[in-house]
Every structure is written in structure tokens, then in C-alpha cells.
Structure 1
Amino acid sequence: MDAIAEYLPLIRQGFITTVQVTVLGAALALVVAFALGLARLSTHRWVRWPAACTVEFLRGTSLVVQLFWLFFALPFFGVQLTAIFAGVLALGLNEGAYASEVVRGSIASRPKGQTEAAIALNMTPAQRMRRILLPQSIPAMLPPMGNVMVDLLKNSSLVSLVTVADLTFNAGLIRSATGETALIYGIILLLYFVLSLVISVIIALLERRFSPTRERRSLLTALTGRTQGVS
């Protein structure tokens, strides 16, 4: 343990880098998820079909190959990405493709009667999506979206393959210097577990915040107060 103590700053820096990659990758994944998920629900083929092809391509190819292509192959076309940018881009696109199916499936599973009622109220497609479908779909999206985010965290270790100094990369440096394989990898195993717990807690809080039961209770309170005001 004494041999590891002097390398704690390296572990801390790797931890910070892993958090940065995870947060940035998650933000990009959410943007990609909603963009592709909503595009696949479009009534226009010229929007729906390219989105479907993009999702299938990103899901059907290896994340490692995508990462290597962005970092090692793009320079042959005159595009040079930094290691951390290539890592975030690969994670965001790949996990976003999986998350887009969560978005699409959650919205498509809404009762058709709600859409028909919105059409009867002369709502535009954008208004139906913004005011009715999306708010009701968010609670259904959260549990599978949490799984995607945990998966993104675990896959963030792959950015070490393109020299990003994250937890996994720095753990390899420390192991080479000290020979403490079991100890150092036990430490980062625990750190990854703690980060996954943080994601799970955040998702649980969001589930409670967007719980349909809570929304119905708030609506009932509002209606009751309005009724009492009238009486």
C-alpha cells in the first residue's frame, strides 16, 4: 500500500478525467438519442430512413473500431482529433444510438387516443410532442436510460486505448511501476462502482421527480385548490 500512496495524485487525475469523459459523453449521447429517436418517428421517409440507417450502423459496429477510426483513420483525410475529443465523440455516438431506441420506443408506446385527442384540439405535431407525448414518456425513458449511462461509464475505459489518461490508463502506468496488479485494479474497480452508484442515485431521484403518481397528485392538488377558490 505504501508503494501506491505516492501515485495517489495520478489516480485522482485519472478519476477526474474519467468523470469528464463520462459527463461529456452522456451529454452528447442524450442529444444524439433525442435527435435520432424523434427523427425515426417522423412521418417523412427522407428523415426517418437516414436516421434508421445511422442507428443501425452505430449499433452494429464495434465501439473500439469506431474509436480507432476517429482517432487513427481520420488524420488520413486531413482531420486530426484530440484523444479525449475522439473518445467523447465515439462514446456519445455509440451510446446515443442505443439510447435513441429508448426515446423512440417510449414515445411510440403512448396510447394513440392521446394523439387523436391532441389532433382534435388542433395541435400541431410539434405541440403534441412537446406538451403531451414527451412529458408522459420521460418516466418510461429513465430506467433504460440509466442503464445506457452506466454502460457508457464502463465503456469510458476504452478511451485509454487512444492514450487518454483516465483511470484505466493511469492504473496501467502504476501497475507497471509498482507491480501491484491486484491492489491497483481493485482500487479502480471500486471507483468505477462508486461512479455507477452515483448514476443510479441520480436516475432514482429523477424517477421520483417525474413519477406519474406525483404528477397526478400535483394536478389533483391544483384542481382542488382551484375548485375551493371558485366555491
Structure 2
Amino acid sequence: MWIRMLAAMLAATLLLILLLSLNDEYWLFLPGLLQGAVLTVEITLLAAIVAIFMAFVAALAKLYAPLPIRWLSSAYIEIFRGTSALVQLFWLYFVLPQFGVSLDAFVVAVLALGLNIGAYGAEVVRGAIISVARGQWEASVALNMSRGQMLRRIILPQAFAAMIPPWGNLLIELVKSTSLVSLITLADLTLKAQQMNQTTLKTVQVFTLVLLIYLAISLTVTIAMRVLEQRAGQGMTRGKAA
């Protein structure tokens, strides 16, 4: 039911964008804003990959790695959760060159947002892993599984279902955080909107379209995560029945 409702909202949002584009005052801005939206989606997808990778690495390191690596993992999580994403973005873009490391703005955007969301995601992954029933751990030990086998075959598949809802929230936050990259000269959706507004002063038209485009992107992410959550839940149900 929820997926159908979200799909209906997405369809209504896209239809509204289409209807507005029939008006010349809105159509004038739509191609440029869609071009910025493409960059926003690209950053979102790549940063999400970085975030998911870092979340799993940091969570598993914090739980099972030798003590020095646990400290390093904890330091990463606390630093990136405890400081502003904007400051992290500026630090990578403006401060790193002072140490002889210059990165392209697009790379900085992906890394900064990915590392920031990954730090929050690490705690989601860690919490999901330790929430798996103790009996599952004991059964894995009784089957003489190694820790890697235990995690891969028993623990992570069960923890995965618990991770999906909070990860959905984190990915929505990631979509919204992409607006920060306009501050390091990337022509994303937000920067395109600011430039158009400054040159035309058509604030209502520009930012109405921007709002609807961001909503469409966020609804798409939400629907994808709900579908994934539903399938994971069905898999868990079949597993228990078996």
C-alpha cells in the first residue's frame, strides 16, 4: 500500500512538472535545471556507494578488528558525525591543497558526502549486526563456522533487513546534502537555480521547479528502498518458514 501511495505521489510530482513546463515562464528554466539534476543524481549515486562501503568497513572493523584498527574506525565515525558536512566539504576542497593534495570538485563532493553519510551508516550497520538474536550466533558456532562464514551466511542476511529503513533515511539526507556542493563551484541543481534566479529574478518559477525535482528524486529513492525492504522481509519470512 505504501509503495503504491509513494508511486502515486511520484507520478503526481512528475505530472505537475510536465504541466508547469507547458508555461513558457517555467519551460525557460527546465532544461538547465534538469542538467543540474543529472549532476545531483550522479553525485548521489557515487556518494551512496562510498557511504555503504565505508559503513560496512567501519562497522565490521569496530566490532572485530584488532584494537588499533578499532580506534581508527571509531575516530572516523566520531569525526565525521561530530563535524558539519559543509566544513568537511570545505576542508577537502580548500585545505587539502595546502598539503599538496588537490582534488577535482566532483571527487571532493563524492568523497565528502560519502564519508559523512558512511559514518552515520556505520552505526546503523553495527546496531543491526548486534541486534541479531544470540541463538543465531550460537547456532553458527555449533556448526563450526568461521567468523567470516558466520557473518556472510547467517548474520549479515538477517541484519540486512533491519538496516534498510534507516538506510533509506540516510540516503534521503544524502540527496538533500548534495545542495552543499554548489558552494565548491559544481553546477548541480541548486547552483543552476541560484544562477537563474540571480539573472532573471523569477524566484517563484525557478524554485518551484527545484522543489519538485528534489521531491521526485527523493521519492524515487524512497520507493526503491521500500521495495528492497519488502523483498528482504519476504526473504526472511520464507527463511523462517523453511
Letter matched to residue 106 of structure 1: A
Q: 1:8 aligns with which of 21, 26, 30?
A: 30
State the match for 1:102 in structure 2. 124
Gaps of 5+ in 2: 1-22
Task: Name the CA distance, whole Å, in 2 between partners of 1:174 and 1:110.
Answer: 51
Q: 1:161 aligns with which of 179, 183, 196?
A: 183
Greater mean alpha carbon deviation, residues 37-46 or residues 131-140: 37-46
RMSD of the TM alignment (CA)?
1.5
TM value normalised by structure 2: 0.87
Deviations 1:117-171 (A, max 9, x none): 2112111111111011000001100000000000000001000000110000000
Q: Percent identity?
A: 45
Deviations 1:87-120 (A, max 9, x none): 1110000000001100000001111221122112
Greater C-alpha Rg? 1
Task: Name the CA distance, whole Å, in 1 between partners of 2:27 and 2:196.
Answer: 11
Task: Name the CA distance, whole Å, in 2 between partners of 1:165 and 1:88.
Answer: 14
Greater mean alpha carbon deviation, residues 47-56 or residues 98-107: 47-56
Task: Name the CA distance, whole Å, in 1 between partners of 2:219 and 2:38.
Answer: 16
Task: Name the CA distance, whole Å, in 2 between partners of 1:126 and 1:10.
Answer: 49
Gaps of 5+ in 1: 224-231
| 2:104 aligned with 1:82 | yes
Task: Name the CA distance, whole Å, in 2 between partners of 1:59 and 1:180.
Answer: 37
Tell me which of the two structures has the higher relative contact order, counting C-alpha pairs closer than 8 angstroms and 6 or more residues apart.
Answer: 2
State the match for 1:215 in structure 2. 236
User: The residue matched to 2:64 in structure 1 has which SS?
Assistant: coil
Moved over 6 A (4+): none
State the match for 2:115 in structure 1. 93
Q: 1:114 aligns with which of 133, 136, 140?
A: 136
State the match for 1:58 in structure 2. 80
Whether the 8 Å contact between 1:37 and 1:104 is mirrored in structure 2 is yes
State the match for 2:149 in structure 1. 127
State the match for 1:185 in structure 2. 207
Task: Name the CA distance, whole Å, in 2 between partners of 1:73 and 1:43.
Answer: 31
Q: How many pairs are equivalent? A: 220
Letter matched to residue 165 of structure 1: A
Q: 1:48 aligns with which of 70, 78, 84?
A: 70
Task: Name the CA distance, whole Å, in 2 between partners of 1:74 and 1:129.
Answer: 37
Letter matched to residue 187 of structure 1: L
Letter matched to residue 55 of structure 2: A
| 2:90 aligned with 1:68 | yes
